[in-house]
Structure 1
Amino acid sequence: MRNVPTRHALASHTPHADPRLAGRRLEPLAGGWSGETFRAEPSAPGQVTLVARYLAAEHHAPEAAGIQAALLRQVSGLLPVPDVHGAFESDGPVPGLLLTELLPGERGDLVLDRLVAEGRDDDLRTLGRALGGVAGTLAGVRMSDVGTFADETLRIEPFRLVLPEWVDDHAAGLAAVGWSGAEVAALRAVAEDAVPALAGAQPCLVHSDLNPKNVLVDPAGPRVTGVLDWEFAHAGHPATDLGNLLRFDRHPAYVDGVLDEWCAVVGRATGFRPDPAVAADAARAADLVALVELAARTVTTPVVRRARRHLRAIARTGDLHAAP
């Protein structure tokens, strides 16, 4: 097993020999921040190109590959997700590995940016509907409790999260990156006001990183051809993925499309179509969890910077919908 790439080796972004890949040649794929996803090119005729995703980060449990494989199989009839070709648990310094089908399409964030730049409102609305439909479909996959997935059986380990307490838990982290006590107190007040917007919802399957960067799109549609990167999936609130889709991308036509289709899909599943304004409030409240966690991180990335700016605007104005 000494030829298998280790966590340290993966940081170099270069191809590595891995006996689990049967001699395939690895080429780094663009996108994301980890540098852990590769095209696994075949070395023999008749084989198909795969995607090899190494689960090498500290937050990846040894069972992470099996959990993600089980999730992809569960939603394969509901959403366009890649077929699973193999899942390997981590073993000491050897990271877990998930092998999946290579799907067609362009990254959704690139398509979205192009449509905004070109002022194509109709296509922005269509793309928004396509992504809102994904989030609405996940909101209809009911779960027995709120929590994380423990293993490939998708057994749920419950957790409880209350927004004001979540802010308290991250207050030290926010202070460490420059937040004053008054700013944290203002944010906690917003969190208290947001609690009712999340009350009474049935837990569902949450992708938890559902943004255009993690979706493949056929630009001609535009339609979704792949929903990727399920590493943060859990059982949670049905507005969580909606909030992620609307976090930073706020072009009116796109937002209208996302909300319209999310409400339509949820309405068909439950028999009661939510009001878009109410859904938007719940989405912002649910997304406050991610914004707080991102803003309090010690490592700064472009996403963390944006989260801090948005969260400060929310704390300053007392408005969940505020933007810098």
Structure 2
Amino acid sequence: MVFSTRDTGPVSDAVKRHWVDTRLPAGLRPYARLARWERPIGWWLLLWPCWWSASLAAIAAGHGWPDPWHLFLFFVGAIAMRGAGCTYNDLVDVDIDSKVERTRSRPIPAGQVTKFQAKVFLLLQALIGLLVLLQFNTFSIGLGIASLLTVAVYPFMKRVTDWPQLFLGFAFSWGALMGWAAEFGSLAWAPVLLYLGGICWTIGYDTIYAHQDKEDDALVGVKSTARLFGDRTKPALMALYSFATVLFALAAMLADAGPAAFVGILAGVVHLGWQIVVLDIDDADQCLKLFRSNTTYGWILFAGFLADALIGWL
């Protein structure tokens, strides 16, 4: 692959003065931006369902903690596959991105990389993801391959449905199945309910994110739940986050979790409630801040599940 030497600057909504823009050689920066390395929130959101599921599996199996090797593999896989997914999304959406203020500075529409270079980079990231997947049991490998269907269809959904965030949820919550499968080599109702809860959570946080682009989206014909809900976004978020919380609690019950897990879930409710209360759908900067705060929500649930596994083991 021939690296680009044209660096026209960072993406407009990227983290400022990130190591991607200050330490990487100029020729590598456009590829790092394709993978969104300067915006780690994406791979955190992909990683959390994996780690939650691995922790619930540890509780169900009577272990004191999830398998550290599995946690590491999920970490590497989340970074690789989030990067691959973003690269694929940018290839599919290049015509739309060039018309939207926030995205026209992305590497492909900005001319920092060619489509061919992006495709090669996509393949390299996918190969890393495949190497990670092959470390798991046979059932998990098949389950991981099946997830590619959700990834493949997602970029096209904003053109045909008001619910593209639902399809993002299908893809980004898949780890809720993977963590359990990696431990047991099968699925049960607990990870399925965790998956469904993850979908509701994803629709919620990505609706907040989509409010940044609603004016441009309307002009270019892109659909989203932000445009669908409009001024009813807060009630919609209350419903989505409530469904997510109930489903997470049911998953914890079926995994035979103890009080610490439910304390974590309740603490998470406080955080999600704060998002809804302070949200201003017309303040793009605040929408981005609240979207990124879901990393904190992920830590809250994970901490509760980890504590419960340890307490149960002791």
TM-score normalized by the length of structure 2: 0.29
Structure with higher strand content: 1
Normalised by the size of structure 1, how large is the TM-score?
0.29
